[in-house]
Amino acid sequence: MMPRTKVFNAAAILLILTLIVVILVYGKPFFVPIAFAGLLAMLLLPVTRWLQSKGVNHAVGVLLSLLLFVGFFALVIVFISWQVSDIAENASQLEQQLMQKYQQLREFLSTEYGISPEKQKQMLKEQQESSSGKASAVITAIIGGVGGFLTNLLLVLVYTFLFIFFRGKIKGYIVRLVPKDERTKAVSCIHKTQKTAQEYLKGLFLMILFLWVMYAIGFSIAGVKNAFFFAILCGLLEIIPFVGNLTGTALTLLMSLVQGGDMTLIVGILLTYGLVQFIQTYLLEPLVVGAGVDLNPMATIVGLVAGELLWGIPGMVMAIPLMGMLKVIFDHIPVMEPYAYLLGQDKKEDSGWQRSLKKMGSKVKQLFTS
């Protein structure tokens, strides 16, 4: 009888997991804006509380915190647009450099692989003819993607406002889902979940600021054209763990090569990337991000892969904070404690320098977020 019960329990768990995956995949257009809004609401909640402590009206405080967030990223977009327009002014020079690279490539193919220039032209013409019919479809997809992004952005802002404004109602609803004798524990779980998300998001925000400064200094010293643009690009792509920094550096290398960069410039970019990654791994992450999200490397990598499979790039961006919040919830549910143990790290006593870094990190966060 006992083995049969275990089989039924395993089958039930598998069925529930399958249903969750199906719901998350097919409900992506609905769940992704809500998940982003929930994380953004937790990030802006301390700002809203600070405004309310200064006597600002509840609704006005929520609106002002949203406007501050939108204004900051509007400034970033304006700066990026200015840098892009500066690159566009040198379009003719860039076109000449591209043609030189193209000619060098043709000579290489002709010399090394015996593909004559006439054959290359024929292959290029066939490729253009086969892809000409797809051009309109690509343009339509781009326009549709921009329209969908703007719609989702508006939804995220609206949801964020509602989540912060009705946070008391949402908290009361969650508390009422559990028995009365467990409500104190439920309130503690809610507070710890909020703190986990806030610590991670604040740390990530501060780390991006530091990365902007370091990449800008390194790229400027290396001689990269439009160094500030590529520094901001590399910093922003950091929101995609593991992949973003490599993508930003690769784009910087590619653009520098197109602009006629020599081996010295390439080495300078690679040295900047290596130095920044060293500082980020051994100083910034323990100093600024800290242990707000207590996940082990195995759980982090599996979560990132699962997030990409379920929701694409948005899933990768949200995987770490959502898994950190999930671990806190599992810690407060006895039957789920094995899963919390599987996600978390083994508790080890920090060394002296690690404790000093964490203390310094908390002071840095208070300085920037108080």
Band of residue 138 on the pLDDT scale cut at 50, 70, 90:
very low
Q: What per-residue confidence (pLDDT) applies to 332?
A: 83
Nearest to 273 by CA among 233, 219, 220: 219
Nearest to 286 by CA among 207, 197, 192: 207
Domain ranges of the chain: 27-88+99-177, 184-369
Q: What per-residue confidence (pLDDT) applies to 128?
A: 52
> Is the distance from CB of 259 to CB of 97 less than 8 angstroms?
yes
**Average pLDDT value over all residues in the chain:** 77
* Reported pTM: 0.74
Helix (H, G, I), strand (E, B) or coil at 4: helix
**b/e per residue 155-165 (b: at least 16 CB within 10 A):** bbbebbbebbb
Band of residue 132 on the pLDDT scale cut at 50, 70, 90:
very low
* Range with the poorest average pLDDT among 187-196, 290-299, 307-316, 347-356: 347-356
Q: What per-residue confidence (pLDDT) applies to 271?
A: 92
Instruction: Quick: pLDDT tens for 158-185.
Output: 999 999 999 989 988 888 888 888 888 8
Provide CB contacts within 8 A for 198, sequence distance 6+: 42, 43, 45, 46, 292
Measure the CA–CA gap between 41 and 157, rounded to whole angstroms.
Answer: 9
Highest mean pLDDT among 50-54, 116-120, 124-128: 50-54
> Is the distance from CB of 59 to CB of 48 less than 8 angstroms?
no
Q: What per-residue confidence (pLDDT) applies to 180?
A: 85
Q: What per-residue confidence (pLDDT) applies to 117?
A: 61
Q: Would you call 308 exposed, middle or buried from its count of C-beta atoms within 10 A (0-12, 13-18, 19+)? A: middle
Provide CB contacts within 8 A for 186, sequence distance 6+: 174, 175, 177, 178, 332
Instruction: Quick: pLDDT tens for 206-260.
Output: 888 888 999 999 988 888 888 888 888 888 888 887 777 788 888 888 777 776 6
60 token code pair: 């006005």
DSSP per-residue codes, 234-261: HHHGGGSTTTHHHHHHHHHHHHHHHTT-
Nearest to 167 by CA among 278, 318, 62: 62
> Is the distance from CB of 313 to CB of 240 less than 8 angstroms?
yes
Q: What per-residue confidence (pLDDT) applies to 36?
A: 92
Question: What is the percent of the chain with per-residue pLDDT over 70, rounded to a whole number?
Answer: 71
Between 28-53 and 58-89, two packed helices, what is the crossing angle to 10 degrees?
120
Q: What per-residue confidence (pLDDT) applies to 366?
A: 54
Q: Mean pLDDT throughout 125-148?
A: 52
Q: What per-residue confidence (pLDDT) applies to 96?
A: 59
More confident residue, 141 or 191: 191
